[in-house]
Amino acid sequence: QKEVEQDPGPLSVPEGAIVSLNCTYSNSAFQYFMWYRQYSRKGPELLMYTYSSGNKEDGRFTAQVDKSSKYISLFIRDSQPSDSATYLCAMSGHFGNEKLTFGTGTRLTIIP
């Protein structure tokens, strides 16, 4: 079993819809949770970063962490065609100098 599971999609939604992207994980030591966005033929770029449980909002994006369920989510409100990309979750443990563990990524397409 992989440490981090992420539905690869593809996921297609109409413009303006709310998008929900999710990851589950098995390692209870994970404390830092990140979402990266990767456009086609580009490297990933950090979108959101949360520590431990709770919600974090940044414009149209909300990251949610439920450590009791080992489940993290990224919500995109009022989705735009420019949001079309692959979204990767990543996480790491409590102590510094530990590597990031990535999900496989979900490919998202927003249809105009």
Partner 1 sequence: DVKVTQSSRYLVKRTGEKVFLECVQDMDHENMFWYRQDPGLGLRLIYFSYDVKMKEKGDIPEGYSVSREKKERFSLILESASTNQTSMYLCASSLNPGVTDTQYFGPGTRLTVL
Report the residue number, 17 or 31, with the smaller CB distance to partner 1: 31
106 binds partner 1 (CB under 8 A): no
- Give the phi and the psi of residue 81 in degrees, each rounded to 5: -55, -30
Start-to-end Cα distance in the chain = 37
Selected from 49, 62, 67, 73, the binder of partner 1 by CB under 8 A is: 49
Report the residue number, 52 or 55, with the smaller CB distance to partner 1: 52
- Rounded Cα–Cα distance for residues 89 and 74 (Å): 9
75 binds partner 1 (CB under 8 A): no
Q: Answer left, alpha or beta for residue 79, where phi above 0 means left and psi between -120 and 50 means alpha.
A: beta
Size of site (CB under 8 A) for partner 1: 23
3-class SS of residue 24: strand
100 binds partner 1 (CB under 8 A): yes
Contacting residues toward partner 1, per CB under 8 A: 4, 6, 8, 32, 41-46, 49, 88, 90, 92, 96-100, 102-105
